[in-house]
Each structure stands twice: as structure tokens, then as C-alpha cells.
Homo-oligomer: A and B are copies of this chain.
């Protein structure tokens, strides 16, 4: 399948690497290809600069947001939350319309120091902002409640006995995303929370996620909904 991923950061890299390994044709979109390739700085989570990562992942193509969006039959938004709407504007509505987009980003604001706050929450969410901005894009909020290593390999934590959520307005898009999550990454436990407004709930999990990261001294954990 042709997959377009928005965002060259750690989450985009990890998703792209896994999907390329599975045989998908993956293009990662960025604002400025030359600048992304020129960077020698490691990412904020210690991930290597994109040029180093690309040497180990030669099948993944780097392109503009518009080219990556045009390439993808299915899209993934893995930008930093504050960059999501500009990235998608740059991708161009015509390249988004009618497609399913897994939105894995979170509206984290690190500008005021740690811990980050959310740029939007409570009465709105980034998932809803994206859906409103691109009404013909089928936005499915998912995977944003766990770290990227767990996203692509849930069995790394407790043999996959924990949950991931989906939120979205289009039932058939959500059903397809649930299949992708199972087929691509091996997710077993997926809860459909409802329409895209339920993305408020999963984005608002981030503050406790960040505090748990501090309390547990590891990012290799996830939420399980125990009944």
C-alpha cells in the first residue's frame, strides 16, 4: 500500500521504518526537504538526525508534505501537534480529500517548559481542529496515547495485553484503521470511543502519561482498561 506520513520526527521515523519493513511504499513529508536532510542535530528524544536514519531505511522516500500526501492512499499525521495544521495546509486539501488519515499527534506545548501543557483541550481537540479544517479528510485519531515503540509493537509491553483507542466520524474509515492496527502492528485490544470529539479524551490522557513517565522511569508502558 502507498502510505504518506507527515512528519520526520521520531514518531514518523518509527512508523515509516515499520511500514516499509512490512513492504509498504512509504513517503515521509516534510516542510523543507533540503533543510531536513541538512540537519545534523539529534531529535528531542535522542533519535538520530533524519539523514542518518535514512541511510538505514533506504526504501523510505523523503518529499514535501504535498508530495507525501499525494503519494499516500492512506495518510498518517505524525507531526508535532503545533505543526499539524500548517503541515496539512501545506500538503493541500486536494491531496487529502477522500483519504483516511491516522492522526497520532498530540497538541503538546513545550514552549513554557516541562511538563508541557496542551495547546487545545477540554472543549476542543487537535483531532477536531484537523477534521474541521479538512471536512473531506477522514480523520481517525489513534495511537496517540502510547509511545512510538509500543505503537508499532504492542507485544513489547505485557505481550500486548493493553488498549489503544480510535475516534472518528466515519465508521468505515474507523473499521479500516482497526484492521490496519491489527495487521500492521499486531494490536489486539482496540476500543472505538465514538466520533472525533472523543479525541479530547485521548489527547487529555497526555498529562497523566507524562507524569507516569516520570513516576515509572520508563516510557514502555500503556493503559489497559480493566473490566
A residues near B, CB below 8 A? 117-118, 121-123, 157-158, 161-162, 165, 191-194, 198, 200-202, 204-205, 207-212, 214-216, 218, 220-227
Contact = CB atoms under 8 A, between A and B. Distances in A.
A165 B216 CA distance: 12
Contacts of A216: 191, 225, 227
Nearest to A125: B207
Given A216-B227, A224-B226, A225-B221, A204 B157 contact: no
A209 to B, nearest CB: 8
**Chain A contact residues: over half helix, strand or loop, or mixed?**
mixed
Q: What 9 A-B pairs have minimum CB-CB distances, sorted nearest first? A: A201-B208, A201-B207, A224-B224, A162-B226, A204-B204, A158-B226, A193-B211, A201-B211, A198-B211
A158 B227 contact: yes
B201 A210 contact: yes
Contacts of A224: 162, 223-226
Taking each of A157, A205, A218, A221, which has the highest tally of chain B beta carbons within 10 Å of its own beta carbon?
Answer: A205
Given A204-B204, A204-B205, A218 B227 contact: yes
Contact of A226 (B122, B193, B200, B222): B222
B123 A227 contact: no
